[in-house]
């Protein structure tokens, strides 16, 4: 099993469901490649929780720092619920809100860049691939924080807005309230922004 709930509640899941033998904890892109190679001997793989004797062994998965190095997802007809294309442009969040599961999901972040973004070039390449393969034109960025921290990230958003504007798409994002300002919102709206989900 994998995902947010399993990362936090693997002990309860193991206790209640004996059929579950492993849970991937946190980011799992690297973990799953190791797991596929060692399905029968997965003990010791970083990023897994599993039963070990009377207890549970558990470590968080390794983070992918260069998101541009990841291949684009393999999509099929059922990958577009309601005609919506879900797409990742970043991972994590730069803040430490105590009510939010995003930071704990990625594990200890001391000494790490907590928010990581794909380059505008990479995001546009994925969008162009989808445009060439399907009729779907609404893209929903499932990033917990589309913007990212500081001026560099704001410049990245403006660059993305300029690239989106050149394409026949609309899109939605998720963002922190403090990141939304007049300049970037106007640029994104002009480029096709239709929805912003804001956590309160």
85 close to 138: Cβ distance less than 8 angstroms: yes
Please report the pLDDT score of residue 113 as a whole number: 66
Instruction: Please give the order of strands across the beta sheet that includes 22-24.
Output: 22-24, 48-52, 55-58
Please report the pLDDT score of residue 101 as a whole number: 87
Rounded to an integer, what is the distance from CA 2 to the centroid of its chain? 13
Tens of pLDDT along the chain (200 residues)? 999 999 999 999 999 999 998 999 999 999 999 999 998 888 889 999 999 988 999 999 888 989 999 999 999 988 898 899 999 999 988 888 888 888 888 876 655 568 999 999 999 999 999 999 999 999 999 999 999 999 999 999 999 999 999 999 999 999 999 999 999 999 999 999 999 999 77
What residue spans define the domains of the chain?
4-58, 67-198
Q: Which two tokens stand for residue 36?
A: 């596929």
Please report the pLDDT score of residue 109 as a whole number: 61
| Closest by CA position to 152, among listed 97, 90, 101 | 90
- CA–CA separation, 78 and 161 (whole Å): 28
Please report the pLDDT score of residue 175 as a whole number: 94
| Residue where the block lists tokens 């033998």 | 21
Q: Specify the pairing of strand 90-91 against strand 84-87.
A: unpaired
- CA–CA separation, 77 and 71 (whole Å): 19
Please report the pLDDT score of residue 112 as a whole number: 58
- CA–CA separation, 122 and 129 (whole Å): 11
Residue 10, number of CB atoms within 10 A of its CB: 21
Reduced to 3 states, what is the DSSP secondary structure of residue 73?
Answer: coil
* CATH class of the structural domain 67-198: alpha beta
């Amino acid at each position: 099993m994998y995902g947010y709930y399993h990362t936090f509640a693997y002990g309860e899941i193991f206790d209640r469901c004996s059929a579950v033998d492993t849970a991937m904890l946190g980011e799992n892109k690297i973990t799953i490649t190791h797991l596929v190679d060692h399905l029968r001997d997965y003990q010791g793989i970083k990023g897994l929780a599993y039963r070990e004797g009377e207890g549970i062994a558990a470590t968080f998965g390794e983070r992918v720092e260069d998101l541009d190095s990841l291949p684009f997802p393999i999509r099929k007809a059922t990958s577009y619920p309601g005609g919506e294309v879900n797409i990742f442009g970043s991972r994590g969040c730069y803040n430490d809100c105590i009510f939010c599961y995003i930071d704990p999901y990625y594990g200890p972040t001391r000494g790490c860049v907590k928010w990581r973004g794909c380059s505008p070039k990479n995001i546009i390449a994925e969008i162009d691939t989808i445009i060439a393969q399907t009729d779907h034109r609404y893209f929903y960025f499932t990033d917990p924080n589309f913007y990212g921290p500081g001026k560099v990230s704001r410049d990245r958003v403006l660059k993305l807005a300029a690239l989106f504007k050149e394409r026949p798409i609309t899109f939605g994002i998720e963002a922190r309230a403090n990141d939304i300002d007049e300049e970037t919102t106007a640029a994104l709206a002009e480029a096709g922004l239709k929805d912003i989900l804001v956590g309160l």
